[in-house]
Amino acid sequence: MEHFQLKRAANVKQALDMATTQTSAASTQGTRFLAGGTTLLDLMKLDVERPTQVIDIHRLPLDKVETLDGGGVTIGATVRNADLANHPSIKTHYPVLSQALLSGASAQLRNMATTGGNLLQRTRCVYFRDTQTPCNKREPGSGCSAIDGFNRNLAILGTSDHCIATNPSDMNVALTALEASVHIESPQGKRSIAIDDFFLLPGTTPEHETSLNAGELITHVTLPAPMPGNRSVYLKLRDRASYEFALASAAVIVTVSSGRIDHVRIALGGVGVKPWRSREAEAALLGRAPDAAAFRAAAEAALQTARPQSQNGFKVELAKRCIQHALMFATQTA
Burial of 148 (0-12, 13-18, 19+ CB in 10 A): exposed
Do the domain assignments include residue 6?
no
Question: What separation in angstroms does the CA of 274 have from each of 42, 140, 230, 267, 278?
Answer: 21, 19, 25, 10, 12
pLDDT of residue 2: 82
Q: Which of 152, 192, 154, 196 is nearest to 173 (CA)?
A: 196
- What would the pLDDT profile of 143-197 be if each residue is shown by its tens digit? 999 999 999 999 999 999 999 999 999 999 999 999 999 999 999 999 999 999 9
Q: Which of 145, 128, 112 is nearest to 28 (CA)?
A: 128
Task: Please give the single-letter amino acid code of residue 304.
Answer: Q
Do the domain assignments include residue 327?
yes
Count up the domains in the chain and report the number: 1
Task: Please give the single-letter amino acid code of residue 39.
Answer: T
Q: Which of 322, 308, 216 is nearest to 278 (CA)?
A: 322
- What would the pLDDT profile of 280-326 be if each residue is shown by its tens digit? 999 999 999 999 999 999 999 999 999 999 999 999 999 999 999 99
CA distance 74 to 222: 4
CA distance 296 to 43: 40
Task: Please give the single-letter amino acid code of residue 150.
Answer: F
Which residues are within 8 A (CB) of 189 and not within 5 positions of it... i.e. 6 or more apart?
none
Task: Give the CATH number of the domain where residue 327 resides.
Answer: 3.30.390.50
- What would the pLDDT profile of 17-27 be if each residue is shown by its tens digit? 999 875 444 33
Task: Please give the single-letter amino acid code of residue 160.
Answer: S
User: Global pTM?
Assistant: 0.96
- What would the pLDDT profile of 85-140 be if each residue is shown by its tens digit? 999 999 999 999 999 999 999 999 999 999 999 999 999 999 999 999 999 999 99
Do the domain assignments include residue 254?
yes
- The DSSP annotation for 224-291 comes to PPPPTT-EEEEEEE-SSSSS---SEEEEEEEEEETTEEEEEEEEEESSBSS-EE-HHHHHHHTTS-SS
Burial of 227 (0-12, 13-18, 19+ CB in 10 A): middle
- Residue numbers of the domain that contains 250: 231-331
pLDDT at 226 > cutoff 60: yes
Confidence of residue 242 (pLDDT cuts 50, 70, 90): confident
Query: 259 — alpha (psi -120 to 50), left (phi > 0) or beta?
Result: left
Task: Please give the single-letter amino acid code of residue 28.
Answer: T
Do the domain assignments include residue 121?
no
Q: Which of 272, 269, 271, 300 is nearest to 284 (CA)?
A: 300
Do the domain assignments include residue 246?
yes
Do the domain assignments include residue 294?
yes
314-331 and 292-302 helices, crossing angle to 10°: 140
Q: Read off the DSSP letter of residue 74.
A: E
Do the domain assignments include residue 165?
no
